[in-house]
Structure 1
């Protein structure tokens, strides 16, 4: 059994560079089919993950607002 640990420090510049790479299509995130869940559906999300067949990431919309699952433009992110 091998275990690896890593500690990461938040890096705004690095995260903005990743956002630029995603916007330009160099990095293509993979979301699980039907992988956006409302906060009330977290148990359903865990159940889907526990099946072991999920490919990609699941997203939990904690705000409940439909616009929360739409990625903002990089220009908006830079000014936050």
Structure 2
């Protein structure tokens, strides 16, 4: 089974190079839109990574994560 993932910083979809926050690529995607596309493609699970919250617990994206869980399908 393939489980798609979204890595998130400040409400944006990102990818870190070898886990380095200084070397990140931001994608021109909305997290909800991409999550919905994964669901439409048949994904039953979605791996969400709150990188901002992992680095700084005061910056957890709880509202965004709750929205993704409730609205992504």
> Would you call these one fold, judging by a TM-score over 0.5?
no
Structure with higher Rg: it is: 1
**Normalising to structure 1: TM-score of the pair?**
0.26
Structure number having the greater helix percentage: 1
The one of the two structures with greater contact order (alpha-carbon pairs below 8 A, sep at least 6) is 2
**Normalising to structure 2: TM-score of the pair?**
0.27
